[in-house]
Amino acid sequence: MNSRQQLTRYKLWFLTAIFVLCVIAGCTQNTPVDANAEARLASIKVPIDLHYGETALACNAFFKHGGYEWALNRFALFISDVEVKLSEQVDWRPLALLENQWQTPKTALIWVGQGCDREPTSNNYNQQLLLGISPQAWRNVSAIRFSMAVPFQENHANPLTQPSPLNISEMFWSWRFGHKFLRLDLTTDALDERKNWSYHLGSVGCQSPSSMRSPEQECAMPNRFTVVLTKPLASTSLAIDLKHLLRDVDIAQTPSCMFQRDAETSCRILADNINTPGLMTWQ
């Protein structure tokens, strides 16, 4: 074989290799790029623990309030617009949330309730926040601030095109009123008759032509409560205390607070309790 023939053979091999690569590249699916991968490397997981006073609450939990035992059917809470303040700084810095089934970049859903112990997967409970911040920077955080709500634009947007968790129908009232920001469903069999009690917090006084139309302006009572917490150095998880939320509310005797009747006196007390420091604390 002369050198010219050898060169031709090399060329043929080279062209073949290129062609095979092209065929493979063109006919196989592209490996999806994990957009969160980079952020995950620089992320912090903040566990959220639910309590009633000293009693830790998880799946199918019970607690005593007002002398009666109550079953926790559902606790759900939207958290959005998370901001942090770094040590020796005065400005609040917005933090992105890592996207997953329970979080959009701006909004997360905490989800605890009955049934979640049957299949201990992330598919039916969520008790953590995944924050897009490096462990190093997190150590320098001196305070955290967030809203217990869904931001106005997302709150009243088309539920069809919203990403998870904003399209979970159990947390959606209607286009007019948007989402339930907080949902607490309790049941007791300790009274003469079974009693169900619910607290569904969301925006009310929203003006639009029908429940399937979005309001153009913020609702008369947006009911967006902001939580501001200084962050001790050693803290690792956030605690939510239902005893604080239900303080002075006689849930055995008063009707639920679902913002449907004017006479829901419990709504006022619950709002006061949310506004008083103590509902959420670092552990």
Partner 1 sequence: MAISRILLITLAALFVGACSQPPTPYAWQIPEGFPTPNVPVSNPMTEESVALGRALFFEPALSGNGAVSCSTCHMPAHAFSEPRTHSHGSTGDKVRRNAMALVNVGYNGTLTWAHNGFTTIEQQLMVPLFGEHPVEMGITGNEEAILARFKTDDYRQLFAAAYGDEAATFDRVVKALASFVRSLTSFNSPFDDYAYRQQDDAMSESALRGMELFFSERLECFHCHGGFNFTQSSKHAFQQLDLQPFHNTGLYNLDGEGAYPQEDTGLVEITLNAADMGKFRAPTLRNIELSAPYMHDGSLPSLDAVIAFYAAGGRGEGINSPLKSPFVSGFTLTAEEHQDLKQFLLSLTDEEFVQKRENNAPTLPPKVAL
How far is CA 281 from each of CA 57, 73, 146, rounded to the nearest angstrom?
15, 23, 13
Number of residues lying near partner 1 (CB under 8 A): 50
CB of 161 to partner 1, least distance (A): 6
Query: Residue 165 interacts with partner 1 (CB under 8 A)?
Result: yes
What is the per-residue DSSP string for 109-126?
EEEEETTTTTS-STTS-B
Query: Residue 10 interacts with partner 1 (CB under 8 A)?
Result: no
Pick from 7, 14, 16, 236: which binds partner 1 (CB under 8 A)? Answer: 16
Query: Residue 198 interacts with partner 1 (CB under 8 A)?
Result: yes
**Phi, psi angle pair for 272, to nearest 5°:** -60, -40
Only one of the segments 12-20, 77-85, 232-240, 267-275 lies at the binding site for partner 1 (rule: CB under 8 A); that segment is 12-20
CB of 200 to partner 1, least distance (A): 7
- Return the ∠ at Cα 181 (arms to 279 and 213), rounded to 5°: 160
CB nearer to partner 1: give 93 or 213.
213
Pick from 57, 185, 203, 273: which binds partner 1 (CB under 8 A)? Answer: 185
CB nearer to partner 1: give 66 or 159.
159
Query: Residue 11 interacts with partner 1 (CB under 8 A)?
Result: no
How far is CA 42 from each of CA 66, 93, 101, 163, rounded to the nearest angstrom?
44, 16, 19, 23
Residues near 40 by Cβ (< 8 Å), separated by ≥ 6?
98
Strand runs (DSSP E) across 114-192, as ranges?
Answer: 128-131, 141-148, 172-174, 178-188
- Quick one: the chain helix, strand, coil %, rounded to 5? 20, 35, 45
Binding footprint of partner 1 on the chain (CB under 8 A): 9, 12, 16, 19-20, 23-24, 26-28, 73, 101-102, 113-115, 118, 123-124, 158-165, 167-170, 172-175, 185, 187, 189, 193-194, 196, 198, 200, 209-212, 258-260
